């Protein structure tokens, strides 16, 4: 069988199996999630052995230490995967929720009811723990999943997916609801993108270029999780102590994630008081600054920002800093350079807060809070598949509810169209 | 300028203008809709003249009478277009609606607020009245629109769009929020599909092949309005008089629309009592039957259905009829042949109703009501851009609310991520 045919067979099997899963009661899905957690724990030694194979190959290929670290599983990480599945079991089941109900003058009763999307194709980077997280969220929301992790984690992912599928079967669900594409070839990904007969949604995680390729090639709808170029704007009226704490947290809490701040915008009126303090605190956290001229006049140690810096997602201990004349300039800068993920203002002024939240267009706009809080768990939505910067369907954290669609259920007693 | 560059210029102008429209107050948008209605009325004579140009060319090219009829504008039809715009003005404005709000233990207050999608690319068939309907719905929901109607209506559409844009300007909105692609070349459509920098959603209306082409070529998300292959299942326990009325309405009320019934499924236990009566009533309404063997044993006049009939969207006075053994066979048939738009059961049995609404996967499932009721206006959602058979974002009638997305607005007092 060629690669495309292999992937098609998996997607078709997932579609077939998704029907039983869509109708499965919550308790069956939760039992499957428990079995999946137990399955990982019981086979931890085998998983670590498979992972060692992936690690040996990655080291032989000369991957960076950071990359190898992300690829590495340990007993603790396996325990975290199991705990994650149990947390997903504890989430409310969105399937069957009645979103709204109304009655027409004719007596017709119309409801919108949540149902699973069907089959989700999930393409992700080389962290084997993501395999369990994604399989759990898809199963809880009643969706079959076709997983395709980074090829460097192939042996680990393939084994984990197999174990999860077998465990789900113990709870009475078809094993085919969890599929893994274990062909390292990129052709397998491209094949998956055209299987709109069987796959209802593609979620790609990875670099900007990769997500663009997926979007261009896919005939299946795509929920994008791409670039995160987030700003914090320190307004004239900001509580400057709060602004420093938010800036340091937004930049340095974890630099490699999409909701980290990449550019700090500072109102000219407070820049002289704010920037020297903020720069010192950021330096303590290991952050290097790239500033415009006005910033450098206040923070002599900052390197000169180039035009390209305003468009760079560093994902590193680097921060671009710009002094702006007012809220308008901040909003215009964000409009031009932001990626529409998370944008924050620090302000004590109600009018500024209202203008910023209205005029800035992003999945999340925050007032007096760190961009790092834009996250499913932090928002109280449970675990997430990622943060969507798409405008359609789901914008922001994608949790179990965002993996559902709705159908209209219409109850009548003989109504016809006049 | 080549065609692609022309289309790009329009899309870019629409995006630019969409920002002001997104923030426009409801009263400004409603005033624009009134002006648009008045603009059409005042220029009715000029519109009819442009339309005569289109009609002359269509007749010269030998288009069918039905086609020319759909293309024809009259004073009455222009009045209907104006009335439609005034109805859209009367609809509630979805923009700014707070969908939900909750508070986190940290004190963070999180809301989801409706905002416009941005720019909508609408590609539609040759009915000039659709130009006004679509422009009105997009404007009310705060979206700019790039219109591309059937090339046979080019002169009419181009003038109508111009008039609408000028009228919107009178209310203080940028005229660029309503764009019309007036290049008859198909290349213009293909160019529009790749402008994901400026266009946020493509809604194609047209035949199955056309919608498939759009879906394959588009890098912009697509909301599909394709095939409608709807079934009515008459269950064992059905009130047969009700079942006849629903069947006749679902088939013959209007045959050329996507929510018309194409296949009637009848439980074997009631077929002998139901089918002869239904067939007679359908024959009175001008409907020709294509039945399976069991149907033909009861309705000798019916032609023999071929396998292809179960997959044919006739859009005509033709109905496929099949006798099934039970609900399971009906559900299986619908799963195999339905297009996921509207599916109905006629039954007096609660268990059958619950099973049918759970197990049949469609944008709308109906109990004891005609499939023809699946429609924005009938559902009380106001006018619609069409009925979506996509699973993502909007499933079923697409009204003003479905033309919006949401953003998270997060209010804090210094919260950071621990």
Kindly report the nearest CA distance between residue A388 and chain B, in angstroms.
Answer: 11
For B291, half-sphere exposure in the C-beta direction (CA atoms, 13 angstrom radius) is 21
By C-alpha distance, which of A26, A41, A156, A34 is closest to A92? Answer: A26
Bridge partners, residue B369, by sequence? A415
> Which of B224, B370, B416, B418 is the best residue to mutate to test the A interface, defined by the most A CB atoms within 10 Å of its own CB?
B416
Residues A320 and A346 in one domain: yes
> Which of A392, A395, A404, A413 is the best residue to mutate to test the B interface, defined by the most B CB atoms within 10 Å of its own CB?
A392
Give the domain range for residue A162: 3-225+393-410
Of B23, B396, B411, which is closest to A408 when you measure between CB atoms? B396
* Burial (0-12, 13-18, 19+ Cβ within 10 Å), B202: buried
pLDDT tens digits along A373-401: 999 999 999 999 999 999 999 999 999 99
From chain B, pick out residues whose CB is under 8 angstroms from the CB of A370: 415-417
Kindly report the nearest CA distance between residue B173 and chain A, in angstroms.
Answer: 17
Task: Write down the pLDDT at residue A347.
Answer: 98
For A330, half-sphere exposure in the C-beta direction (CA atoms, 13 angstrom radius) is 31
From chain B, pick out residues whose CB is under 8 angstroms from the CB of A114: none
Question: What is the domain-level CATH number for residue A182?
Answer: 3.40.605.10
Residues A212 and A255 in one domain: no
Q: Decide: A166 and A175 in contact? Cβ < 8 Å.
A: yes
Q: Decide: B393 and B370 in contact? Cβ < 8 Å.
A: no
DSSP string spanning B326-370? SHHHHHHHHHHH--SSEEEEE-S-HHHHHHHHHH--SSEEEEEE-
By C-alpha distance, which of B344, B342, B343, B340 is closest to B389? Answer: B340
Residue range A301-308: average pLDDT? 97
Beta strands in B168-291 (DSSP E): 178-180, 201-204, 230-234, 261-267, 288-291
Kindly report the nearest CA distance between residue A46 and chain B, in angstroms.
Answer: 35
Residues A191 and A258 in one domain: no
The residues, any chain, with a CB within 8 Å of residue A192's CB and separated by 6 or more, are: A7, A11, A121, A123, A146, A148, A181, A199, A202, A220
Torsional sign, CA A348, A354, A360, A365: positive
Task: Write down the pLDDT at residue A170.
Answer: 98
Does some domain include residue A331?
A: yes
For residue A72, name the pLDDT band (cuts at 50, 70, 90): very high
CB contact under 8 A, A393 and B393: yes
A327: left (phi over 0), alpha (psi -120 to 50) or beta: alpha
* Mean pLDDT, chain A, integer: 96
Two structure tokens written together for B308: 């292809």
pLDDT tens digits along A88-110: 999 999 999 999 999 999 999 99
Task: Write down the pLDDT at residue B206.
Answer: 86
For residue A206, name the pLDDT band (cuts at 50, 70, 90): confident
Neighbouring C-beta atoms of residue A347, cutoff 10 Å: 25
Helix%, strand%, coil% for chain B, nearest 5 = 50, 20, 30
A-B contacts (CB, under 8 Å):
195
How does pLDDT run along chain B (418 residues), one tens digit per residue?
799 999 999 999 999 999 999 999 999 999 999 999 999 999 999 999 999 999 999 999 999 998 999 999 999 999 999 999 999 999 999 999 999 999 999 999 999 999 999 999 999 987 899 999 999 999 999 999 999 999 999 999 999 999 999 999 999 999 999 999 998 899 999 999 999 999 999 999 988 889 999 999 999 999 987 789 999 999 999 999 999 999 999 999 999 899 999 999 999 999 999 999 999 999 999 999 999 999 999 999 999 999 999 999 999 999 999 999 999 999 999 999 999 999 999 999 999 999 999 999 999 999 999 999 999 999 999 999 999 999 999 999 999 999 999 999 999 999 999 9
Residue A131 DSSP class:
H
Question: Is A407 an interface residue toward B (CB < 8 Å)?
Answer: yes
Kindly report the nearest CA distance between residue B415 and chain A, in angstroms.
Answer: 5
Question: Is B246 an interface residue toward A (CB < 8 Å)?
Answer: yes
Of A219, A393, A415, which is closest to B215 when you measure between CB atoms? A219
What whole-number distance in Å separates Cα of residue B135 and Cα of residue B144? 8
Kindly report the nearest CA distance between residue B117 and chain A, in angstroms.
Answer: 7
Residues B328 and B398 in one domain: no
Task: Write down the pLDDT at residue B252.
Answer: 97
Bridge partners, residue B265, by sequence? B233, B322
**Which tops the pLDDT comparison, A206 or A23?**
A23
Residues 95 to 114 of A: which have CB under 8 A from any B CB? 102, 104, 108, 110
Residues A184 and A255 in one domain: no
What whole-number distance in Å separates Cα of residue B276 and Cα of residue B272? 7
CB contact under 8 A, B417 and A253: yes
What whole-number distance in Å separates Cα of residue A125 and Cα of residue A129? 10
From chain A, pick out residues whose CB is under 8 angstroms from the CB of B407: 361-365, 395-396
Does some domain include residue A316?
A: yes
Distance of CA A26 to the CA centre of its chain: 24
Question: What is the domain-level CATH number for residue A324?
Answer: 3.40.309.10
Q: Tell me which of A73-87, A189-203, A214-228 is least confident.
A: A214-228
From chain B, pick out residues whose CB is under 8 angstroms from the CB of A242: 413-414
The residues, any chain, with a CB within 8 Å of residue A227's CB and separated by 6 or more, are: A208, A258, A313, A339, A341, A389
Distances (CA, A) of B376 to A104, A182, B388, B397: 12, 45, 11, 5
Q: Decide: B24 and B143 in contact? Cβ < 8 Å.
A: no
Residues A176 and A250 in one domain: no
Question: Is B332 an interface residue toward A (CB < 8 Å)?
Answer: no
CB contact under 8 A, B415 and A370: yes
Residues B65 and B139 in one domain: yes
* Antiparallel, parallel or unpaired: β A387-388 and A396-397: antiparallel
What whole-number distance in Å separates Cα of residue A110 and Cα of residue B241? 23
Q: What are the two backbone dihedrals, phi and then psi, of residue B281, each rounded to the nearest 5 degrees?
A: -65, -40
What whole-number distance in Å separates Cα of residue A373 and Cα of residue A396? 11
What whole-number distance in Å separates Cα of residue B379 and Cα of residue B219? 32
Does some domain include residue A384?
A: no
Question: Is B151 an interface residue toward A (CB < 8 Å)?
Answer: no
CB contact under 8 A, A117 and B392: yes
Q: Decide: B53 and B154 in contact? Cβ < 8 Å.
A: no
Q: What is the widest separation between alpha-carbon atoms in chain A?
A: 78
pLDDT tens digits along A5-29: 999 999 999 999 999 999 999 999 9
Distances (CA, A) of A273 to A243, A295, A299, A370: 12, 12, 11, 21
The ipTM of this complex is: 0.95
From chain A, pick out residues whose CB is under 8 angstroms from the CB of B361: 22, 115, 407
Does some domain include residue B415?
A: no
Percent of chain A with pLDDT over 90: 95
CB contact under 8 A, B407 and A361: yes
What whole-number distance in Å separates Cα of residue A243 and Cα of residue A229? 19
Residues 180 to 239 of A: which have CB under 8 A from any B CB? 196, 200-201, 215-216, 219, 221-223, 239
Residues A220 and A242 in one domain: no
* Antiparallel, parallel or unpaired: β B318-324 and B288-291: parallel
For residue A1, name the pLDDT band (cuts at 50, 70, 90): confident
Residue B205 DSSP class:
B
Of B374, B379, B405, which is closest to A392 when you measure between CB atoms? B405
Does some domain include residue A386?
A: no
Question: Is B62 an interface residue toward A (CB < 8 Å)?
Answer: no
The torsion defined by the Cα of B309, B312, B316 and B318, in degrees rounded to 10, comes to 20
> Which of B408, B411, B413, B418 is the best residue to mutate to test the A interface, defined by the most A CB atoms within 10 Å of its own CB?
B408
What whole-number distance in Å separates Cα of residue B280 and Cα of residue B284? 6
Residue B254 DSSP class:
-
CB contact under 8 A, A395 and B373: no
Of B373, B405, B409, which is closest to A395 when you measure between CB atoms? B405
Two structure tokens written together for A372: 């790092």
DSSP string spanning A45-112? HHHHHHHHHHHHHHHHTT--HHHHHHH---HHHHHHHHHHHHHHHHSPP-TT-EEEEEE-TTS-EEEE
* Burial (0-12, 13-18, 19+ Cβ within 10 Å), A361: buried
From chain A, pick out residues whose CB is under 8 angstroms from the CB of B379: 104, 110, 408
Does some domain include residue A341?
A: yes
CB contact under 8 A, A412 and B117: no
- Is the pLDDT at A226 greater than 80, yes or no? no
For A308, half-sphere exposure in the C-beta direction (CA atoms, 13 angstrom radius) is 1
By C-alpha distance, which of B309, B313, B311, B315 is closest to B255? Answer: B315
Residues A35 and A92 in one domain: yes
Two structure tokens written together for B384: 């619609």
CB contact under 8 A, A393 and B392: yes
The number of folded domains in chain A is 2
Residues B164 and B293 in one domain: no
Residues 20 to 49 of B: which have CB under 8 A from any A CB? 22-23
CB contact under 8 A, B219 and A219: no
Residues A45 and A182 in one domain: yes
The torsion defined by the Cα of A52, A57, A63 and A65, in degrees rounded to 10, comes to 20
> Which of B406, B414, B418 is the best residue to mutate to test the A interface, defined by the most A CB atoms within 10 Å of its own CB?
B414
Residues 374 to 403 of A: which have CB under 8 A from any B CB? 374-375, 378-380, 390-393, 395-396
What whole-number distance in Å separates Cα of residue A95 and Cα of residue B221? 25
Helix, strand or coil, per DSSP, at residue B381: coil
Q: Decide: A234 and A270 in contact? Cβ < 8 Å.
A: yes
Does some domain include residue A418?
A: no
What whole-number distance in Å separates Cα of residue B1 and Cα of residue B305? 53
From chain A, pick out residues whose CB is under 8 angstroms from the CB of B120: none
Residue A173 DSSP class:
S
Distance of CA A398 to the CA centre of its chain: 6
Residues B63 and B118 in one domain: yes
Residues B71, B72, B75: CA angle, nearest 5 degrees: 145
CB contact under 8 A, B409 and A23: no
Query: Looking at chain B, which residue has its C-alpha nearest residue A105?
Result: B380
CB contact under 8 A, B239 and A414: yes
CB contact under 8 A, B221 and A221: yes
Of A117, A357, A369, which is closest to B108 when you measure between CB atoms? A369
Does some domain include residue B51?
A: yes
Of A250, A367, A408, which is closest to B412 when you measure between CB atoms? A367
By C-alpha distance, which of B148, B145, B224 is closest to B191? Answer: B148
């Amino acid at each position: 069988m060629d690669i495309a045919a292999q992937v098609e067979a998996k997607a078709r099997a997932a579609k077939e199996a998704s029907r039983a899963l869509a109708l499965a009661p919550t308790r069956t899905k939760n039992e499957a999630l428990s079995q999946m957690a137990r399955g990982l724990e019981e086979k931890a030694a085998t998983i670590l052995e498979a992972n060692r194979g992936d690690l040996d190959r990655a080291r032989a290929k000369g991957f960076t230490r950071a990359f190898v670290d992300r690829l590495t599983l340990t007993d603790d990480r396996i325990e975290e995967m199991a705990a994650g599945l149990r947390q997903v079991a504890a989430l409310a089941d969105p399937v069957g929720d009645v979103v709204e109900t109304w009655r027409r003058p004719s007596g017709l009763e119309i409801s919108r009811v949540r149902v699973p999307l069907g089959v989700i194709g999930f393409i992700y980077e080389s962290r084997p723990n993501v395999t369990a997280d994604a399989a759990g969220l898809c199963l809880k929301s009643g969706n079959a999943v076709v997983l395709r992790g980074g090829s460097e984690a192939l042996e680990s992912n393939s084994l984990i997916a197999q174990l999860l599928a077998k465990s789900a079967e113990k709870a009475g669900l078809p094993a085919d609801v969890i599929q893994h594409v274990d062909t390292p070839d990129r052709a397998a990904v491209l094949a998956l993108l055209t299987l709109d007969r069987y796959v209802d949604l593609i979620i790609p995680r990875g670099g900007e270029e990769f997500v663009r390729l997926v979007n261009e090639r896919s005939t299946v709808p795509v929920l994008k999780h791409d670039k995160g170029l987030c700003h914090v704007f320190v307004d004239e009226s900001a509580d400057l102590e709060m602004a420093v704490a938010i800036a340091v947290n937004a930049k340095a809490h974890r630099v490699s994630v999409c909701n980290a701040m990449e550019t700090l915008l500072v109102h000219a009126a407070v820049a002289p008081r704010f920037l020297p303090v903020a720069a010192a605190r950021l330096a303590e956290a290991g952050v290097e600054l790239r500033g415009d001229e006005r910033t450098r006049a206040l923070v002599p140690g900052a390197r000169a920002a180039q035009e390209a810096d305003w468009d760079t997602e560093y994902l590193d201990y680097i921060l671009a800093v710009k002094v702006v004349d007012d809220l308008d300039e901040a909003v215009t800068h964000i409009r031009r350079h932001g990626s529409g993920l998370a944008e924050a203002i620090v302000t004590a002024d109600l009018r500024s807060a209202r203008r910023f939240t209205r005029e800035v267009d992003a999945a999340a706009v925050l007032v007096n809070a760190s961009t790092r809080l834009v996250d499913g768990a932090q928002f109280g939505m449970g675990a997430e598949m990622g943060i969507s910067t798409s405008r359609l369907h789901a914008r922001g954290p994608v949790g179990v509810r965002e993996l559902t669609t709705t159908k209209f259920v219409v109850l009548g007693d003989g109504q016809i169209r006049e």
